[in-house]
Amino acid sequence: MAPERRFKSVNVFGKIFFTLFFITTNLGLYAQIVSYSNDFLNIGATAQGIGMGNSMVASAHDASAVYYNPANITKISNTFDFAITHSEYFGSIANYDFLLFAYKYNEKTYLGFGLLRMGIDNIPNTLNIYNNGSFNLDNITYFSVEDYAMFLVFARKSAKLSYAIRSKLVYRHLGSFVNGYGFGLDACLAYQWRDFHFGVNINDALGTFTAWFYNLDQQTIDILDSTGNEIPHNTVEIAVPSTTLGVSRDLKINGKLTLRSELDLFIQWAQRTSALISTPVASLSPGLGTEFIFKDVLFIRAGLYNFQKITYFSNNTSVNFTSKINFFPSLGIGFRYHKVIIDYTFQNLFNQAVPLQSHFITVRFPLNSHFWSKKQD
């Protein structure tokens, strides 16, 4: 790249960063750098991916690549590719839904789209249950907590190397009390060498900004203040960049059975966390995934990911403690019927990690452009 073009690119990114910084400071918002902003974006996208321990940054080759590595949407074999995922948490209290779409614009250009919702509905608001000293159930109102994210992907393909830029738009709200608006950019690469596939996903490359706006009436403020709760103020979260590296390989065992394996490394930059390897510079945690493919009809998957060092204190003191490594195990299955693939994954099947088990169901289906012309005829 010529020096003047390189300078212009840096200048453009600099303008974006300082424009966002100027907006947040002039809106009276307090900015803070955090490690786990918008953590709902890290759950996963499909039952296939979660069944492989969310280790798909190198091997994703359909609409799921919009989430795991947008550079890999260049591997879709059809004009269109769709995936729809549903999961429930805490006895169906929380719902998690993900729609993914990849489109082959031409031989070198590909586009992707994703829409994610995680929400809890019909939550009772009991702040006003006491009115003038009397207990009144009629004062209970209900609200929802919802997190939304939209992904827009632009990818380009060459002989062995593909690259992509992904933009993220985030909207979060807790009833009428608080609203959050976020924006971020990710950079992704995919490369193939012989039978090996490599992937790089740089999340929050420039830092993802999420601005929180609180809308509390005076009565709510008075109640929070009288009960010793802190009154929240408008703020901005700036997510720390992270990187996922992955390598995968498809090994043909015989004419009917193929083994797909992937090893990923999740790197959280500039933050000390509970990951297996944690330093002031970076924290590192692996992910492992395996998939047995029988005649491209039956799929059996297993994965391990989210390894963490958990410290348990005894007798509520820090004198006696034990350290244990926790992780998320997952097991999944899928089958193909004509063009449709139905996947199911059971996460945390051994209850090894702290959260409860979760079930994921995904329906995937590719479509060619002639499908639409047949429908029109």
In this predicted model, what pLDDT tens digit does every residue of 4-15 receive, in sequence order?
433 333 344 344
Which of these, 22, 25, 16, lies nearest to 206 by C-alpha position?
Answer: 16
Least reliable range by pLDDT among 29-43, 178-192, 299-313, 337-351: 29-43
Predicted pLDDT of residue 129: 75
Mean of the pLDDT values across residues 315-335? 76
Name the token pair of 172.
Answer: 């979060």
pLDDT of residue 58: 96
> Given pLDDT bands bounded at 50, 70 and 90, which one contains residue 286?
very high
Q: Which two tokens stand for residue 90?
A: 């805490």
Q: pLDDT tens for residues 38-53?
A: 888 989 999 999 999 9
Phi and psi dihedrals of 275, rounded to 5? -65, 170
Confidence of residue 270 (pLDDT cuts 50, 70, 90): confident
| CA dist., res. 340 & res. 295, Å (int) | 15
169 has a pLDDT exceeding 60? yes
Least confident interval from 159-163, 221-225, 262-266 = 221-225
Residue 80 forms beta bridges with which residues? 103, 367
pLDDT band per the 50, 70, 90 thresholds, residue 313: low
DSSP designation for 254: S
Among 48-62, 141-155, 228-242, the range scoring the smallest mean pLDDT is 228-242
In the chain, how many H helices and how many E strands?
Answer: 5, 20
In the chain, the percentage of residues whose pLDDT exceeds 90 is 46
The H-or-E segment that residue 212 falls in is strand 209-214
Give which of 192, 238, 190 is closest to 38, Cα–Cα. 238
pLDDT score of 16: 40
**What residues contact residue 284 under an 8 Å CB cut-off, 6+ apart?**
265, 266, 267, 268, 275, 276, 277, 278
Beta strands in the chain (DSSP E): 30-34, 80-89, 94-104, 109-125, 130-131, 134-135, 141-157, 161-174, 178-193, 196-203, 209-214, 235-239, 242-252, 257-269, 277-278, 282-294, 298-313, 321-337, 340-347, 358-367
Distance CA 180, CA 211 (A): 5
Could you give the CA distance from residue 143 to residue 131 in angstroms, rounded to a whole number? 20
Q: Which one is predicted more confidently, 363 or 317? A: 363
Report how far residue 50's alpha carbon sits from residue 243's, in angstroms, rounded to the nearest whole number. Answer: 18
pLDDT band at 35 (very low <50, low <70, confident <90, very high): low
Instruction: State in Å, rounded, how far the first CA of the chain is from the last one.
Output: 49
pLDDT for the residue numbered 30: 52
Instruction: Mean pLDDT check: name the lowest of 21-35, 86-100, 295-309, 338-352.
Output: 21-35
Cα distances (Å, whole numbers) of residue 201 to 161, 310, 343: 14, 27, 24
Nearest-CA neighbor of 180 among 206, 205, 148, 151?
148
CB 186 within 8 Å of CB 166: yes
- Centre a 10 Å sphere on the Cβ of residue 376 and count the other Cβ atoms it contains: 6
Residue 257 has pLDDT above 70, yes or no: yes
pLDDT-based confidence at residue 55 (cuts at 50, 70, 90): very high
In the chain, where the domains are located: 3-376
pLDDT at res. 231: 79
Per the prediction, the chain carries an average pLDDT of 82
Contact 179, 143 (CB under 8 A): no
Backbone angles phi, psi at 64, to 5 degrees: -65, -20
Report the 10 Å Cβ neighbour count for 155: 28
Other CB atoms within 10 A of residue 209 CB? 23
Q: Is 19 helix (H, G, I), strand (E, B) or coil?
A: helix
pLDDT at residue number 349: 54
pLDDT tens digits, one per residue of 193-210: 988 999 999 999 888 888
pLDDT over threshold 60, residue 29: no
8 Å CB contact between 70 and 155:
yes
**H/E segment holding residue 193:** strand 178-193
Mean pLDDT for the stretch of residues 218-241: 80
pLDDT at 5: 39
Q: For residues 331 and 227, which has the higher predicted lDDT (pLDDT)?
A: 331
Mean pLDDT of 334-349: 88
CB–CB of 141/125 below 8 Å? yes
- Return d(Cα 55, Cα 107) in angstroms, integer: 27
- Other beta carbons within 10 Å of 372: 12
Most confident of 30-34, 127-131, 174-178: 174-178
Q: What's the confidence (pLDDT) of residue 25?
A: 39
Q: pLDDT class for 22, splitting at 50, 70, 90?
A: very low
Average pLDDT score over residue span 87-94 = 81
CB neighbour burial string for 259-284, b if at least 16 within 10 angstroms, e if fewer: ebbbbbbbbbeebebebeebeeebbb
Q: Which fold has domain 3-376?
A: Porin (2.40.160)
pTM score over 0.85: no
Please give the average per-residue pLDDT across 107-128, as a whole number.
90
**Is 241 within 8 Å of 205 (Cβ atoms)?**
yes
Q: What is the reported pLDDT for 133?
A: 67
Q: How confident is the model at residue 2 (pLDDT cuts 50, 70, 90)?
A: very low
Do 250 and 213 contact (CB within 8 A), yes or no? no
CA 313/CA 315 separation, integer angstroms: 7
pLDDT reported for residue 345: 93
